[in-house]
Structure 1
Amino acid sequence: MLTKRELLRTAAMTTITLAATRTVPAFAQASTDRPGFLKAKDVAEAGFIYGLPIVMNYAVMYEYAVDRNSGQFKAPFNQIKNEPNVFTYKDTAIVTPNSDTPYSFVWMDLRAEPIILSVPAVDPKRYYSVMLCDGNTYNYGYIGNRATGSEAGDYMVAGPDWKGVTPPGIKKVFRSSTQFSVAGYRTQLFNADDLDNVKKVQDGYKVQTLSAFLKQPVTTAAAAVDFPKIDKELVKTNFFEFLDFALQFAPVQENEKEMRAKLATIGVGPGKTFNFRDLPLEQKLEIGLGMKEGERKIDEAVASVGKDVNGWRVSSLPGDSAHYNGDWLKRAVAAKAGIYGNDAVEAVYPLTRTDSDGQTLDGSKHTYTLTFAPGQQPPVNAFWSITMYDGKTQLLIENPINRYLINSPMLSGMKTSTDGSLTFYIQNKSPGADKEANWLPAPDGPIYLVMRLYWPKTESPSILPAGEGTWQPPGIKRVS
């Protein structure tokens, strides 16, 4: 089964043995207008950085909305799938998944007509949000407590080419930059006994085509698409073929023209001419070396993203097209650190792989503590959490108490010190019955921790601007 972490780890490992043993047809020899070896390698490197979020998004879409046998399939296009439970270690399609809020998903095919998303009235005390993210991984709009309020409403999502009249009653129109897009719903779960209440909210989420909303007959239909199968093995060599495929549904934006023109020089672009397996050995090496170097640069940037605050990296990575403004490395880092992350105004994600001394977190070697001083818990309008991931895969880990995170709604069941401080025990084995209430189980190996501040406060103390705010996350202390 494909995980996005496996996709990332294998995407650049083009095998020279495969390339050397493949028979190359005469028509695939380098053309006179193809750039030289080093320049082509540079194009592949830049193209990998530019294209990684797009290919990652396509892989998730394929598993969630296309391949019914993927093991991760949710629902066909334009149909909502409500997840009545939070994510666990069994959910592997998305790296660094949120386990705070039961998700709902709808993958939208916007080619023929817009989609209407209707939400019910939601108790203002219950955080919820609907994040709209397109095939470029741009967060182009929000519905929810922070963005639109807690009242019921109908919202329209239109594709890049739609030209029509907005019907009465629509509160807002959102415009996707690509013809396929996803709406990711997050509905707060207070505790295990609250699940039925979450399901009632989810039952109020409605998805309709514009024609169905208007109770009119469908006048146009989108053509069938032959979506290419994607998995970790195919991505090793077919990365640019998947990018090539996805770009046909993403009309070029002004700040992409230069990159698209570069990609065209190695056969990626309109006409879908790129076929790795039919390239001469030299061109296979160009592509493979470029991808590997691109991945190295992304990994380095992920490790140093944002500002180091007590060992946590604090940044405001995700956003819309204007937020990235053609900074493809920034967009790739946002996807690799955790694809489908929120804008900073919706949530901030301090993340760490190190303790307060800068040493790598490793549950097989050490135990750790994290302490919030009295009155120093994360300042939010909604809630906060700290989630544990396997440091190698960035996936949730199986553990004996089925606890993947600690969040603020859980605090009533935890122990505080006599001075009012709150200490969590981060370790692979139980810290003992007297401390287990505050235990965050860790993997037997590298640790990756992500703190989530949902709807962070803007007044002091605040984590905003991200990394520069007056509130700072405390460092993780190594105990043994």
Structure 2
Amino acid sequence: MATKDLEALKTAARDAYLFTLPLVEIATTRSRGLVAGSPMNVFGHMRRLADHTARAVTTPNNDTFYSTAQVDLSQGPVTLNLPATGDRYVSLALMDAYTNNFAILGTRTTGPDGGTFTLVGPTDAAEGPNVVRSPTNHVWALARILVDGPHDVEGAKAVQHGLSMQGPAAPTPGPFAHRGAPWDEYFETAARLMAANPPRVEDRAFLASMAPLGLADFDASRFSPEQAAAIEAGLAEGKIAARKGGLSGAGFVEGWSYPSARLGNFGQDYGLRASVAVAGLAALPPEEAMYMRAEGDLPRALFDGTRPWRLSFPAGGHLPVHSFWSLSLYEATQDGQFFFTDNPLARYAIGDRTEGLVTNADGSLDIWIGHQDPGGERTANWLPAPAGPFALFMRAYLPKTELLEGGYRLPPVVPADAG
């Protein structure tokens, strides 16, 4: 086979991996739920906050309960019931099979009174004010329900209890290969998922670059050993590309990265979409929540947990939000994912709702970060880290305009003995 043809096949494999990775990641999440006993078209509820044992989805938060449902609209519409939530922050994100948030119900959009909504597939003719149309038949519904401390657990559970879904029985999907599967298994799964969830017309130009792979009628047996090697090389390039970026935007500004405006609704930014599928699956769009990552002293923007660190807010300089902010600390895996780390305080995040947080006499606030307890009064504001690499992510729920538009910048995380 000509060299140029092999190069075209390698490029096709790389592009196809990036394009289909979100499909495969959601399918993997769906499969885990089925194994755990969560059927399709039914909400499952996590009734405790995520901790170091939560390893199903990367970068979980420690601020909200999750309620999740994998939805199949191929058999007909599904009814969603969202209870009244009052002053409590709640979002119910509806993601298509490619991880785009095509609708978010809850505090910011539908208000505090709840309601009943009809979720329909792309070809359903239903219309009406409470009809929500999905671009794909497969949907991931993910609710985040704020828990405002230990005293609020029962109140948050009551909201979960009122969140429900009714719809026709759906076929059991799968089995599916995961993102680390051999190329033939991976692309066979990707082809099936694309057939069930056809891409948008806006994707046609990018899909043309994938044509040599033939995902429309994928058959691994038609490739020679030489061609298979080219596909494997392209897949390897795709994996490297997918580990870059994640929730981070284009570089760091004064020690922090800020999210792309396309986060959560990716359009034609297939590289960003793939990176987020690995490092921040199910990320919300910026108007709902902004994710900022601090720049560390190690490769991959990680921090060294054996050193003490400090984040200092001046008086009146906390994040401008309509809801709340929270700083989460994660240990990093080799494949670019992030999970909470075990620690003596069982504290995985710190923020404006943390009980016992101590403000300085002048109104400023210091957060102490590291593996060693800083001691004394500083322990109240300590965010424990592992004795190794870790990452810091700031979440700002319902950010105000000055944060969304860049008028506000976070202070940098610095060594604790600096200045």
Common fold: TM-score over 0.5: yes
Q: Does 1:275 align with 2:213?
A: no
Partner of 1:283, secondary structure, is: helix
Residue 380 of structure 1 is aligned with which of 312, 321, 326? 321
In angstroms, what is the RMSD of aligned CA positions? 2.5
1:165: Cα distance to partner?
5.4
1:312: Cα distance to partner?
1.0
Taking a change above 3 Å as real, the CA distance of residues 253 and 477 of structure 1, as seen in their structure-2 partners, is: same
Counterparts of 1:400-415 in structure 2 under 5 Å? 400-410=344-354, 412-415=355-358
Residue 128 of structure 1 is aligned with which of 83, 87, 90? 90
Residue 249 of structure 1 is aligned with which of 196, 199, 202? 196
Larger radius of gyration: 1
Mapped to 2, the partners of 1:360 and 1:226 lie a distance apart of 37
Give the aligned residue type for 1:351.
Answer: R
Residues 353 and 391 in structure 1, CA contact (< 8 A), matched pair in contact too:
no
Deviations 1:186-239 (A, max 9, x none): 111110121011111111112112xxxxxxxx7xx65x4551243465356632
Residues 81 and 164 in structure 2, CA contact (< 8 A), matched pair in contact too:
yes
Residues 424 and 438 in structure 1, CA contact (< 8 A), matched pair in contact too:
yes
Taking a change above 3 Å as real, the CA distance of residues 60 and 318 of structure 1, as seen in their structure-2 partners, is: farther
1:444: Cα distance to partner?
1.8
Mapped to 1, the partners of 2:51 and 2:91 lie a distance apart of 20
Aligned match of 1:118 = 81
Mapped to 2, the partners of 1:450 and 1:335 lie a distance apart of 16
Residue 352 of structure 1 is aligned with which of 285, 294, 308? 294
Taking a change above 3 Å as real, the CA distance of residues 267 and 280 of structure 1, as seen in their structure-2 partners, is: same
Residue 151 of structure 1 is aligned with which of 107, 113, 135? 113
Aligned match of 1:214 = none
Range that drifts further, 77-86 or 283-292: 283-292
Aligned match of 1:44 = 13
Residue 294 of structure 1 is aligned with which of 212, 219, 238? 238
Deviations 1:117-160 (A, max 9, x none): 11111122x11111111111110001111111001311111111
1:164: Cα distance to partner?
3.4
Partner of 2:32, secondary structure, is: helix
Partner of 2:76, secondary structure, is: coil
Give the aligned residue type for 1:155.
Answer: F
Partner of 1:246, secondary structure, is: helix
Aligned match of 1:397 = 341
Deviations 1:421-461 (A, max 9, x none): 11111101222243211110112211111100000112xxx
Residues 307 and 315 in structure 1, CA contact (< 8 A), matched pair in contact too:
no
Taking a change above 3 Å as real, the CA distance of residues 359 and 342 of structure 1, as seen in their structure-2 partners, is: closer
Aligned match of 2:40 = 77
Partner of 2:285, secondary structure, is: coil
Aligned match of 1:423 = 366
Range that drifts further, 309-318 or 422-431: 309-318
Partner of 1:420, secondary structure, is: coil
Residues 246 and 280 in structure 2, CA contact (< 8 A), matched pair in contact too:
no
Taking a change above 3 Å as real, the CA distance of residues 355 and 74 of structure 1, as seen in their structure-2 partners, is: farther
Q: Does 1:476 align with 2:416?
A: no
1:307: Cα distance to partner?
4.8
Gaps of 5+ in 1: 1-29, 210-217
Residues 316 and 348 in structure 1, CA contact (< 8 A), matched pair in contact too:
no
Residues 257 and 295 in structure 2, CA contact (< 8 A), matched pair in contact too:
no
Aligned match of 1:199 = 157
Taking a change above 3 Å as real, the CA distance of residues 304 and 92 of structure 1, as seen in their structure-2 partners, is: closer
Mapped to 2, the partners of 1:114 and 1:153 lie a distance apart of 16
Residue 449 of structure 1 is aligned with which of 392, 397, 410? 392
Residues 378 and 453 in structure 1, CA contact (< 8 A), matched pair in contact too:
yes
Taking a change above 3 Å as real, the CA distance of residues 457 and 157 of structure 1, as seen in their structure-2 partners, is: same
Partner of 1:448, secondary structure, is: strand
Residue 228 of structure 1 is aligned with which of 170, 175, 192? 175
Mapped to 1, the partners of 2:202 and 2:357 lie a distance apart of 50
Give the aligned residue type for 1:43.
Answer: A
Partner of 1:148, secondary structure, is: coil
Taking a change above 3 Å as real, the CA distance of residues 368 and 74 of structure 1, as seen in their structure-2 partners, is: farther
Residue 30 of structure 2 is aligned with which of 61, 67, 75? 61
Gaps of 5+ in 2: none
1:302: Cα distance to partner?
4.0
Mapped to 2, the partners of 1:35 and 1:152 lie a distance apart of 57
- TM-score for both structures, normalised by structure 2: 0.91
Residues 13 and 235 in structure 2, CA contact (< 8 A), matched pair in contact too:
yes
Aligned match of 1:20 = none
Mapped to 1, the partners of 2:187 and 2:69 lie a distance apart of 26
Partner of 1:54, secondary structure, is: helix
